[in-house]
Structure 1
Amino acid sequence: MDTPVIGVLALQGDVREHLTALAAAGAAARPVRRPDELDELDGLVVPGGESTTMSKLAGLFGMLEPLRERIASGLPVFGTCAGMIMLADKILDPRSGQETFGGIEMIVRRNAFGRQNESFEAAVEIPDIPGGPVEGVFIRAPWVESVGAGVQVLAEHGGHIVAVRQGHLLATSFHPELTGDHRLHQYFTDMVRDAR
């Protein structure tokens, strides 16, 4: 089996945890901070963190336009929590000047499940992931308000969309990298292999 090279956008957030989960899923995982590093990748993870800070840092590091171009040209990308927000075509309640990479035809609501002290864990049923529900860690998590016709809803929690896929792009409201269950990272790694 081939070993795809999957980067983790290392501007802010759960970089180390994603690197560990990707390695366990059979990928060659590496942190990515500069636009030229995108050329070496078969796929990319945009981790959780704080979406407004991530947007500013992506601008400062010159990553916004290069990533938009790579996403548009078919680079597989997996966004978790803030990463989901960064992959949304539209944010319902953006902070002033907040930008996204876009790519998934969806509208997201930031911090929809509440503040830091309202964080929680819940079992999330994802039919595409064998082996029973995954444990979702929701930390100031967004949810998806609506999706376009090309978006596949993979999971809901409490009546809200929390996992989606559109072609080569995958996003979850929650943090699968914090659980020790690497099935979602395996699913994404397989997506990257299929796209090569």
Structure 2
Amino acid sequence: MARLIRIYEDNPNPKEIKKVIDVLKRGGLIIYPTDTVYGLGCDITNIKALEKIARIKGVKLEKSNFSFICEDLSNLSDYVKQIDTTTFKILKRALPGPYTFILPGAKSLPNPFKKKKTVGIRIPNNNIALEIVRQLGNPIISTSIRDEDEIIEYTTDPELILEKWDNLVDLVIDGGYGDNEPSTVVDLSGDEPLIVREGKGSLEIF
């Protein structure tokens, strides 16, 4: 049975955030708000939790395309190869924001992702998500929680999310209604920015 915790984005309560961190450190799975759709996440350093998410999504962990939710650009070199000035300027301009950037993976990636040539980096413009990563001290792995309903696509109501995911996750954060449009995915691993998926973020900055 998953717990539902209400956290306000304007001013996330440190006590409530600590409850989330405790769940993550124990290898639990959480559903949390971002600046786009609600995401399913776990601690990037916990292999068992990563495997659980891969099973839920029906993919092999080493072949998965999960995003890394980071606090800011300061520890990017832990996960991404050295990037040029142009790429860094794009990231600086767009983040935090509703974008997922595909970048060349570093050799220092956590074990399950060692063979990945690229990784998806996300810094959402959402205080709850950023505060979780800040207090955890490392990124969380994330994937959006799609709905089977082709019309709805993404569930936006945290209470409905809880009903559906009750037996699969440990904690659902109610951060208010979510969006139903995913992030814009931009591949920056080549010579030119390539739009992989057009979502919530504006394309004008590219």
**Which bin holds the TM-score, normalised by the shorter protein?**
under 0.3
Greater strand percent: which structure?
1
Structure 2-normalised TM-score?
0.25
Q: Looking at CA atoms only, which structure, 1 or 2, has the larger radius of gyration?
A: 2
TM-score by length of 1: 0.26
> Greater RCO between the two (CA within 8 Å, min separation 6)?
2
